[in-house]
Structure 1
Amino acid sequence: MLDIELTGYATRFNMTPVVADALEEAQAFVGSLVAHRLLHVSPLGQLFETERDHSFLVTERNNGAERLVMKGRHSIDFARRFAGGMRLATLRRTDRPDDRTEVRAEVVRLAKMLDKENGHRRHAGLVLGAKWLLDSYLGNDRILSYVQATVALETLLGDKAESDVVGIGALLANRCAYMLATSVVERRELLSSIKEIYRVRSKIVHEGQSRLAESQQYRLNQLRRICGRVIEHETKLIGP
């Protein structure tokens, strides 16, 4: 069970900021699991949704005492899509005790991305990037999914001041290439790939392209993998 602690007002009638923050952090955590290949999105599963409501308890703490003040049910759109669209990954064996222990330890480490300091997220860019990546995976509209994946990458690595000077595509291409590449050849491939990815983005954003060609679908999958690798890299820097 993921325990997200937030302070604020929650009501069963409206989506208050504190509830929205909680859902956003839950999305980010799930997105990080996808990035680390601990969870896998089933393309067929995206077509189905479950109608189950997802409930939560709101508690009030006062001088160390805790009492239940409200029980509410909220229909969470992403949770319905998540339940229908995701399954446990088959890429990693978890039948051996050592493997299960390793996976549990990794999940606990990923939860640290939600840490706060004085009520503010310590890793805000990482949280939002993982959230946008999950949105990209769960959507049925490929054009929107493409844009969401580019938003994820820009949230993770973008810098408005620098991108205004060199261009967002060139900035992200260089940052990804030098962050992720393990050889000169891979660095060149990443530079080339991200430039192509941003050519497609430009056609969508500036020319209104409404469908992805097969080659552009490949770029979407490639973009998602790059986002996942960046999230992996950044979460490792958080520490054990």
Structure 2
Amino acid sequence: MVYFIGAGPGDPDLVTVKAQKVLQKANAVLYTGSLVPKEVLSWCKEDAIIKDSQGMKYPEIFSFLEEYKDKVVARVHTGDPSIYSTIAKQIQFLQEKSISYEVIPGITAAFGAAASLGIEFTIPGVSQTMILTRIEGKTPNPEKLENILACKNSSLVFYLSILLLKKLKKKALELGYSPDTPCWVVEKATWEEESIYKGTISNIEEQVSHIKGVALILLGDFLHQEETQESHLYVKPLQKELKANK
């Protein structure tokens, strides 16, 4: 049985109880490099086979999963396995080999960052849509950047894009974004060494030029949390209406 586990954004305390239980009983563990906290791996049994998948190609990963298919296998991904991981190909392989599997969700970095910042992504009257995306670099993105940025009333979160911030700035300003549009960067969200940078689309690049590793870019007016309108759910007229309909 293969379990795909989301190890969360960085803080080991954010890993689900279910994921921890699987790791504690796993016979073989394949994890995705240094972004999986060491404490998470410390939950494994002393005799568990633990291997770092960094640098491994698909055939090597598939071989590992198949070799231990009759035991408990933990395939550990960072964040949530459904976002910017490679589980689709791995699941396809397991299905072809009739190997049982289960996906255990985790907290993605965007939600870890929101918790650290004390913000929400859906703001009444400002944004009711959230877009998780990445800027096209070596990996093609079928959704062009100009189309993503056209959703100006959305809460935009860019993964794996910190080295392409200049491209984001240029395109956003070309498309009519105000130079004062809030743009924040969270480096290593929820880790002990987490760093937060707050600026605008016109000046944030200068603040974060030293970052080469894992960071999220948040862009949009939803970051003006002080301008939040009241949710209709908590105002008296709607409360009375809800009671009347009971």
TM-score by length of 1: 0.26
Query: Which one has a bigger Cα radius of gyration?
Result: 2
Kindly indicate which of the two structures has a greater share of residues assigned to helix: 1
TM-score by length of 2: 0.25
